[in-house]
Amino acid sequence: MSVQMLSVSIRPLLPVIVLLVTGMMVLFMDAFGAEGRESHYGYLGLAGLAIAGWLAFKMWGTHSLSFAHTLITDKLSIITSLIYFLIAGLTILFSPGYLRQEERNLAEYYALILFAVVGLVFMTSAQHLVLFFVGLEVLSISLYALAGFVRQRDLCNEAALKYLFLGGFASAILLMGMAFIYSVTGSLYFQDVARYVIHSHPSVALLLGIVLVLVGFFFKVSAAPFHAWAPDVYGGAPAPVAGFMATAAKVAVFGVMLRFLGMAVYPLKVHWIAVVTVVSVASMVIGNFAALRQDNIKRLLAYSSIAHAGYALVGVAAASRQGGAAVLFYMLAYSLMNLGAFGVVSLVGRKGERYVKISDYAGLAAKHPVLAAAMAICFFSLAGVPGTAGFMGKFYVFASGVRAGQIPLVVIAVLNSAVAAYYYLRVVYMMYMEEPKEEYVFTIHPAAVIALVIIVIGIFQLGLIPGGVLSASYSSFAWFMS
Amino acid sequence: MKLWVLGAVFIPLLGAAVNGIFLWITKKKAHLIAVPALFASCICSLVVLSKVLGGAHADFDLYLWIPVGKFVVPVGFLIDELSAVMLATVSFVAAWIHLYSIGYMEHETPRGYAKYFCWLNLFTFFMLLLVSANNFLLMFVGWEGVGLCSYLLIGYWYEKASAANAGMKAFVTTRLGDLGFMIGLFAIYKYYGSLMFANVFSHASILSSSLITVITLLLFVGAVGKSAQFPLYVWLPDAMEGPTPVSSLIHAATMVTAGVYMVARCHALYNLAPFSAEIVASIGAFTALFAATIALVNNDLKRVLAYSTISQLGYMFIGVGVGVYAAGIFHLFTHAFFKGLMFLTAGSVMHVLHGELNMQKMGGLIKKMPITGWTFVVGALAISGIPPFSGFWSKDEILAGAFFHGHPVVWIVGTFTAFLTAFYMFRLIFLTFFGKPRDAHLYEMAHESPPVMTIPLIVLAIGSALAGFFALGPHGGIVGFLNKTLGETVAHGKEAAGVGHLLLIISVAMGVLGIALAYSMYIRRVPDPVVMARTLRPIYTLLYNKYYVDEVYFAFIINPLVGGSRYVLWKFMDVAIIDGVVNGIGRLCRLVGSGVRQFQTGYIPDYVWMILVGAVVIYWIGILF
Amino acid sequence: MMGGVAYPMLTVVTFFPLIGVLVLLFIDKESKNLIRWVAFITTVIEFILSMPLYFRFHLGTYHYQFVERIPWIKILGASYHLGVDGISLFLVLLTTFLTMLSILASWSIEKHVKEYMISFLLLETTMIGVFCALDMLLFYLFWEAMLVPMYLLIGVWGGPRRVYAAIKFFLYTMAGSVLMLVSIIFLYYHHYKVTGELSFSLIKLLATPVPAVVAPWLFLAFALAFAIKVPMFPFHTWLPDAHVEAPTAGSVILAGVLLKMGTYGFIRFCMPFFPHASLRFTGLFLVLAVISIIYGALVALVQDDMKKLVAYTSVSHLGLVMLGMFALTLQSVTGGLLQMVNHGISTGALFLLVGMAYDRRHTRLIKDYGGIARVMPIYSAFFLIATLSSIGLPGLNGFVGEFLALVGTFKSHPVFGALGATTSVLSACYMLWLVKRVFYHEITVTENLSLKDLGFREVVICLMFSIPMFWIGIYPKPVLKRMEPSVAHFIAQVKGEAAMAIEHSPQAKEKMSLAAYLVEERKVEVRP
Amino acid sequence: MGIGVFPYIVLSVLVFLLGALGLMIRRNAIVMFLCLELMLNGVNIMFVALSRRMCSAEGQVIVLFVMAVAAAEAAIGMAVITAFYRVRGGVDVDRAQLMKW
């Protein structure tokens, strides 16, 4: 490594720094500030995110390796960062009302979210597995805390406990995988691994390493058979947090997965495509079919998110630049609609999330037409009805699959999406075609409304005129081998 | 010429339209539009006929109806001897029957009255369209149109279950025949590449005779349905549920003869398909006999007439079947008069007896209603083939044709049927008009009908009496005239004059014999019909129940069809099997779902297990490839 | 391609209902009459707007007209591409026509009027879009999006088992469509591999023949999607449920337009894309069509519920359409096409009339009626006209289409033509029996004595329906003339390209199995 | 240099698996958490050994990171377990089965 290795340019880190500073500010101001305006910290956080986003956006098009080549700033890292900021922002918008009704309106919450975002940014900017690992842990640790944030609620801290153990176990396996790769390649730089893989035959140890790393990835994106934690954790965690977990972590890990597979170990694609294919099928089937019988809407969304991970993996299995772009786009679309869904859940759930049965949504359309409409749009989008982001995402992913000749896989995927339509429709039917059982008494925080509006607009924008975003995500995978 | 034709055809439609749309205005005045319309049309067609007599022909298109690629069908008219005669006959009879209806329908509700005339006009329009069309498809339009009107008019008293059923029965049965007709048209288009009479008939011979046979048979199926031949005749007796003028116009004079007209129109084809011609003749002969036998014992005034109509249609088919098309049409022509007449008289009887039809309850009515009675006698004499009445001439033509074209059997059947015809007709007369009244009350209420009804009777009676003399005109009279179109090759008139006269005498004798027998049985009571019925019970019951044909149809066709559809196709196939599979898939999915969920124990160590196992599995898969 | 016209006519026609939606959004949901009028006026204007399509339509060309084309998603090569030809023209007009009357017929809706009208207008837009789209992605977008408003219409405003029916309708259709999506994508990339151009344009995709080994599978994928919509014999069971449960206007649109999308799909996409395959499967589809005709008719014969009866007749009639299309003669296809329009009109009318009876008596069971011709003469008159048009009585629209379809079919497949012709008898049986049981006989049920005859609004609706019935029946020439060139071109496409496909279908892949082909496909390196 | 790297690898894998086994068979949250730490340390052994073998500092750097992470995890983990204890009055994970299916 040359001098450049020592060159430490702060510029790529500016967004992250901004976020960290904001997070700290939130904590300090909470410590010394006056009581009772905790939710303002949320807006502070939003401001931080906005600035960070602006800074990140300024870097669009630039390309740099810094910090001893461990940290890359390219279109992928920037676009994913923007997605994180968006997700975090929406989550924060949903939070104040929620936290107030849960009487847990603490500043830490916002700080944790900001720190989680820092972790996320590091994950997708990593060119070195360890940096990724650190980012991952930063994220996970914040999430452990967030998952159990409403600590007096038993479901909540049960979720935290499960997430803690399983997450820890997964990261241990990931580490072991890294260790095996290291044992063969002698380095954890993506480039070095790639260099090694190209010039030598795959050894058992290397494959083991790769598979173990993949297991770590799959766990984080809640792909079957490593999905078991997701329903329980999403089901227990506070709804906005669940939304955040279900989306942000997936985006990041998919980003890294694509970097890792498409850059470091691309030549072994015969092997990993097989693995990814199997996992994808498993996720779609298990996720969708298990969701058919769910009555708890949070768990239903959890299972659906498992299935969606499966769809996205189709794009990964395509092992192509387009596949990568498709996955990225799909993740963005998925994040929007899922956040929207969880957001509405957080509103309808009311104090202590007592109303999370699907039957609790009976006749929502009659009482809160707008809210119901937003929910319906999110669900139709999840179901992949054309005109919505969900359809475009699915379409692009499946297209990449077909193009890569993965036709059987795609056929399975589309049939699954047909099955999936059933349980999404059930919710819509509850809201529109059932008579309301009891009065809906809950206040909708204006911030939440703003969030929903943004989401709905986003869903239609991605569904009807996705051109810009598609080409952006396509261009951000220029490095993809093949 | 064109204008006259169009006038003849479309004026009735105009009348129908006016009455149909302004139903609520015309009301009881409907006839003021309908009847003049018909007489106008009648005049037009008579003018047309005269022009044709002058040797004029016409074949013109009004506008292009269905042009698709080579399939081009205009709304066009063909006027030659055949269609001219048909036009004249139809419009003439129709006009008088319209007039008659004024009296007959006087007790109807205003709306019903207007509706009736609207439909009657519409019917006439379609009938005229049928006979004057210059292509098969337009003819089919008329063909179906008259069917529709007959359906509507039979069901005119729709609140009577029997009427409603009869209407539907008529429509569906004839549609069954039309199916054959339609397929025949398909075949004609497929093989001749056109549906225009001109093109088809001029190139008739380009096809192999087997193909032509198929086509002609298919067309004949249509005729069988429309003209109530065996086995599709069952609708006609029931059709008597309609108002009597309707029975007279549609189910005696005009519509039912459409089949005969069609076969005659297609003579070019039938000439090339001897086998089909044979079939036509045989079906005709069989039906003639078959129907006549049923008529022997029936006591319902109109039913007897209906069966006699079927039988007479059989005669016409004999005619067109054996190749003497002109004779067939001639009989059609005369039949229109005398059968129309008889129905109207029957109507007049019904009218005064308030719908009583059972002739066993009548008798001696001639004293109360002389005009009705005597006109009926004229009709009966005509149908029995007693010279010089019209029936004699046409029937003789047919039988002679049958004989000379080498169908002795047909001739025998026909002649015997002539005997039966005379018998049951005069049985009817003696039971109804002569002898002593059997039901005093009915006899009391009987009186002569109003002139508006009797005048048509007289006119038609004159027609029935004298129409036969058309046969005597210059160069073969009407027959020769028609033969200009129908181009009958064999002119049997001269060379077998001697035999001809013999046949003539035989058939007349048959008629006289029948009348005599009827007289002795129903006036003199020797042999007493009641006794005979008892002695010949099995035959009598068989005949009395019309050979149980309806019952057979129900038992073997209709009920199985409906039952099968309901229980096999719908309840079993549709609901149980197909929909069962559809819903079964859904259920299966849910089952799988609940199976998958069992892994979700909520117990951390189990999840750890799952992760490890999963890791091993995918590692194995990774190695595998 | 014809140049576009002065103003983007098709765009206006397609999206004008959305303006109505916008207006409705700002109307208080309580002022129901205002809402109804706004919706109705919107559809009337829409209908008027669609009229020029008919009058300014150039005869004698099969090219698409009123074409509009704007790049939509550049990176995918998808474009916003609209156009109509003789095939789609009348379906568009039918849609605007029926929607207008359906709105007028929905006056009796009292529940959530606003939402009802909104979903109805959305439905109209999507339906027209389906018929106008010349870009496969755009088409699929409209095709699937159409499910949502229909799902809501059935599910919210439907009868007792509406939810089951709605979900069944949605899932059944979706399950069919997704496979079509896959094959659309396949065609898209196949075209890309051959020409190196990314495009969803129907015309361009048609220009690149598909390898013979996959064509049958793609064909079946398309065919499944459309056969479900039609619906053809084994896939028809969603129809009776959906029809019976849907609100009257819903059934009208369902029967009048949605079913046509299936047959339209066959004639526009399925068969031209895979001429070789479609010839190969002709036998199968002719058989299915004939089964649909006879089976549908027989099952209809024995229904106790008027609406269900009419629903099954749709199966029968659409079977006839399919028969005509697969017989592939000029007459049969034109007839089938015309029959699509006719069925839309006559069956639509029948559903409306049944609905009117339902509004009065709140039952659709035949046995609850009987003899009502006496109390509702106008009603029965119109019902009779609709009936006659539906059983194909000469002089009314039904006959022209039916006869053409059958005569054409007989030309190429005599047996099927003859079998198909049985529809004329069977239809007479079930419809006239229905008429007999509902309108004739004495009135047995006392409620029926007090039935009111049609009101002004209803008479207007019925008259509107009768006009095209007589027009097409008596003077169908203008309609046929507009259809003919496109149909001729369609047949040439299928037959001609089929011949071509047989001659030089991609060599080597000829004998290869599908599996082998896919493996091979995967080996092909994807260009960046 | 003395014994090769292989025994270390074996050792580390054993330690790792031991931890995993613990996670699978033990019920007590605290103990399970320790097992988690054990797994991490198993990996650490491997990294150290390998970096020694390959004479690259990378491995050892990684170990430092891992230890830091482990510490952080321990902190939050204990907090979570405490919270769990407060609510459920016990730290056995079979109490954490409210959510299933």
DSSP assignment of A30-95, as one string? Answer: HHHS-TT-HHHHHHHHHHHHHHHHHHHHHTTT--EEETTTTEEESHHHHHHHHHHHHHHHHHHHHH
Q: What is the pLDDT of residue A152?
A: 84
Q: What is the pLDDT of residue C212?
A: 84
Joined together, the tokens standing for residue B166 give 């009869």
User: Which among D20, D23, D100 has the least Cβ separation from residue B601?
Assistant: D100
Is A225 in Cβ contact with B606 (below 8 Å)? Answer: no
Is C298 in Cβ contact with B65 (below 8 Å)? Answer: no
Q: Give, to the nearest 10 degrees, the angle between helix A204-220 and helix A269-292.
A: 30
Provide the number of structural domains found in chain D: 1
In total, the C-beta contacts within 8 angstroms joining chain B to chain D are 33
Provide the number of structural domains found in chain A: 1
- Do residues A459 and A339 make contact, with C-beta atoms less than 8 angstroms apart? no
Render pLDDT for A360-378 as a digit per residue (tens, 0 to 9): 898 888 888 889 999 999 9
Domain ranges of chain B: 273-532, 550-624
**Looking at per-residue confidence, does C505 or A1 come out higher?**
C505
Q: Average of pLDDT values for A4-10?
A: 60
Answer whether residue A480 is part of any domain.
no
- Do residues C110 and C32 make contact, with C-beta atoms less than 8 angstroms apart? yes
The yes-or-no verdict on residue C4 having pLDDT over 60 is no
β-pair partners for D92: D28
Burial class (CB in 10 A: 0-12, 13-18, 19+), A274: middle
d(CA A79, nearest CA chain C) in Å: 18
Q: What is the mean pLDDT of chain A?
A: 90
pLDDT band with cut points at 50, 70 and 90 for residue B287: very high
- Do residues A123 and A132 make contact, with C-beta atoms less than 8 angstroms apart? yes
User: Which among A137, A182, A299 has the least Cβ separation from residue D69?
Assistant: A137
Q: Average of pLDDT values for C6-11?
A: 83
Single-letter code of the amino acid located at C313: T
Q: Average of pLDDT values for B222-239?
A: 91
Joined together, the tokens standing for residue B253 give 């004079």
Dihedral of CA B347/B352/B353/B359: which sign? negative
Report the alpha-carbon angle B234-B239-B243, nearest 5: 170
Answer whether residue A372 is part of any domain.
yes
How far apart CA A5 and CA A68 sit, in angstroms, is 4
Q: Average of pLDDT values for A318-324?
A: 92
B609 shares contact with chain A (CB less than 8 Å): no
Chain D residues at the B interface, defined by Cβ less than 8 Å, are 20, 23-27, 32, 93-94, 96-101
How far apart CA C343 and CA C392 sit, in angstroms, is 10
- The SS3 of residue B406 is coil
d(CA A440, nearest CA chain B) in Å: 31
Render pLDDT for A233-273 as a digit per residue (tens, 0 to 9): 999 999 999 999 999 999 999 999 999 999 889 888 889 99
A134 shares contact with chain D (CB less than 8 Å): yes
Q: What is the pLDDT of residue C128?
A: 95
d(CA D96, nearest CA chain B) in Å: 7
How far apart CA A234 and CA C484 sit, in angstroms, is 60
- The SS3 of residue B555 is helix
Chain A residues with CB inside 8 Å of B621's CB?
274-275, 278
Chain A residues with CB inside 8 Å of B585's CB?
none
Q: What is the pLDDT of residue B435?
A: 82
Is D50 in Cβ contact with A165 (below 8 Å)? Answer: no
The yes-or-no verdict on residue A219 having pLDDT over 70 is yes
Is B189 in Cβ contact with C480 (below 8 Å)? Answer: no
A7 shares contact with chain D (CB less than 8 Å): no
Q: Report residue B603: phi and psi, to 5°.
A: -115, 115
In this predicted structure, which of B511-515, C221-225, C272-276, C508-512 has the lowest mean pLDDT? C508-512
Q: Average of pLDDT values for B353-376?
A: 86
How far apart CA B80 and CA A253 sit, in angstroms, is 91
Q: What is the pLDDT of residue B439?
A: 80
pLDDT band with cut points at 50, 70 and 90 for residue C450: confident
Is C175 in Cβ contact with A418 (below 8 Å)? Answer: yes
Joined together, the tokens standing for residue A324 give 């990568």
How far apart CA A73 and CA A61 sit, in angstroms, is 9
Render pLDDT for A84-131 as a digit per residue (tens, 0 to 9): 999 999 999 999 888 888 888 788 899 999 999 999 999 999 999 999
Q: What is the pLDDT of residue C321?
A: 94
Contacts of C526 (CB under 8 A, 6+ apart): A320, A322, A403, A404, A482
Give strand ranges (E) for C180-303. Answer: none
pLDDT band with cut points at 50, 70 and 90 for residue D1: very low
pLDDT band with cut points at 50, 70 and 90 for residue C526: very low
Joined together, the tokens standing for residue C163 give 């939810």
The chain C residue lying nearest B185, using CA atoms, is: C407
Most confidently predicted of A365-374, C2-11, C130-139: C130-139
The yes-or-no verdict on residue B283 having pLDDT over 90 is yes
The chain C residue lying nearest B570, using CA atoms, is: C299
Q: Give Cα separations from A48 to A9, A24, A75, A86 (angstroms).
A: 21, 11, 21, 12
The yes-or-no verdict on residue A380 having pLDDT over 50 is yes
Q: What is the pLDDT of residue C525?
A: 46
B623 shares contact with chain A (CB less than 8 Å): yes
A179 shares contact with chain D (CB less than 8 Å): yes
Q: Which of residues 207-246 of C touch B (CB under 8 A)?
A: 234, 236-238
Is A159 in Cβ contact with D93 (below 8 Å)? Answer: no
The yes-or-no verdict on residue A209 having pLDDT over 90 is yes
Joined together, the tokens standing for residue B575 give 């609901």
Q: Average of pLDDT values for C80-106?
A: 93
Is D101 in Cβ contact with B608 (below 8 Å)? Answer: no
Contacts of A221 (CB under 8 A, 6+ apart): A249, A250, A253, A254, A257, A309, A312, A313
Q: What is the pLDDT of residue B108?
A: 87
How far apart CA B266 and CA B247 sit, in angstroms, is 27
Is B566 in Cβ contact with C407 (below 8 Å)? Answer: no
pLDDT band with cut points at 50, 70 and 90 for residue C522: low
Chain A residues with CB inside 8 Å of B615's CB?
173, 211-212, 215
C490 shares contact with chain B (CB less than 8 Å): no
Q: What is the pLDDT of residue D2?
A: 59
Joined together, the tokens standing for residue C36 give 């109804």
Contacts of B90 (CB under 8 A, 6+ apart): B45, B124, B127, B128, B131, B253, B254, B336
User: Which among A130, A157, A232 has the least Cβ separation from residue D83?
Assistant: A157
Domain, as residue range, for D75: 6-89
Q: What is the pLDDT of residue B527?
A: 81
Q: What is the mean pLDDT of chain C?
A: 89
The chain A residue lying nearest D69, using CA atoms, is: A137
The yes-or-no verdict on residue B244 having pLDDT over 60 is yes
How far apart CA B86 and CA B142 sit, in angstroms, is 14
Helices (H), A293-406: 297-317, 321-349, 364-367, 369-383, 389-403
How far apart CA B8 and CA B24 sit, in angstroms, is 27
pLDDT above 70 as % of chain D: 98
Q: Average of pLDDT values for B65-78?
A: 91
Is C234 in Cβ contact with B562 (below 8 Å)? Answer: no
Chain C residues with CB inside 8 Å of B564's CB?
298
Q: How many helices (H) and strands (E) does chain B have?
A: 30, 2
pLDDT band with cut points at 50, 70 and 90 for residue C499: low
pLDDT above 90 as % of chain A: 66
> Which site among B9, B68, B211, B565 would you substitute to test the C interface, given the most C Cβ atoms closer than 10 Å to its Cβ?
B68
Element (H, E) at B79: strand B71-79
Q: What is the pLDDT of residue B488?
A: 60
How far apart CA A470 and CA B393 sit, in angstroms, is 93
d(CA C320, nearest CA chain A) in Å: 30
d(CA A176, nearest CA chain B) in Å: 12
Q: Give Cα separations from C495 to A117, B192, C320, C331 (angstroms).
A: 61, 24, 21, 15
Q: Report residue C67: phi and psi, to 5°.
A: -70, 140
Place of tokens 């104090």: A351
In this predicted structure, which of A153-167, B168-182, B494-508 has the lowest mean pLDDT? B494-508
The yes-or-no verdict on residue C1 having pLDDT over 60 is no
Residue B585 DSSP one-character state: H
Is B602 in Cβ contact with A211 (below 8 Å)? Answer: no
Burial class (CB in 10 A: 0-12, 13-18, 19+), C17: buried
Is B598 in Cβ contact with D20 (below 8 Å)? Answer: no
Render pLDDT for C330-361 as a digit per residue (tens, 0 to 9): 999 999 999 999 999 999 999 999 999 998 88
User: Which among D47, D65, D98 has the least Cβ separation from residue A182?
Assistant: D47
Q: Give, to the nearest 10 degrees, the angle between helix C397-412 and helix B136-154.
A: 130
Q: Report residue C274: phi and psi, to 5°.
A: -125, 65
Q: Which of residues 153-212 of A touch B (CB under 8 A)?
A: 161-162, 165-166, 169-170, 173, 204, 207-208, 210-212
How far apart CA B405 and CA C108 sit, in angstroms, is 71
Is B607 in Cβ contact with A166 (below 8 Å)? Answer: yes
The yes-or-no verdict on residue C507 having pLDDT over 50 is no
B597 shares contact with chain D (CB less than 8 Å): yes
Domain, as residue range, for A415: 3-475
d(CA D28, nearest CA chain B) in Å: 11
CATH number at residue D50: 1.10.287.3510
How far apart CA B569 and CA C292 sit, in angstroms, is 12
The yes-or-no verdict on residue C230 having pLDDT over 80 is yes
User: Which among D50, D76, D79 has the least Cβ separation from residue A183?
Assistant: D50
Q: What is the pLDDT of residue B288?
A: 93
How far apart CA C374 and CA C370 sit, in angstroms, is 10
pLDDT band with cut points at 50, 70 and 90 for residue B14: very high
Residue C146 DSSP one-character state: T
Burial class (CB in 10 A: 0-12, 13-18, 19+), C378: middle
Any idea how long chain B is? 625
Is A386 in Cβ contact with C142 (below 8 Å)? Answer: yes
B597 shares contact with chain A (CB less than 8 Å): yes
The yes-or-no verdict on residue A304 having pLDDT over 90 is yes
Q: What is the pLDDT of residue C314?
A: 93
- Do residues A280 and A317 make contact, with C-beta atoms less than 8 angstroms apart? yes
pLDDT band with cut points at 50, 70 and 90 for residue C5: very low
Joined together, the tokens standing for residue C347 give 């069956």
Is A322 in Cβ contact with C163 (below 8 Å)? Answer: no
The yes-or-no verdict on residue C511 having pLDDT over 80 is no
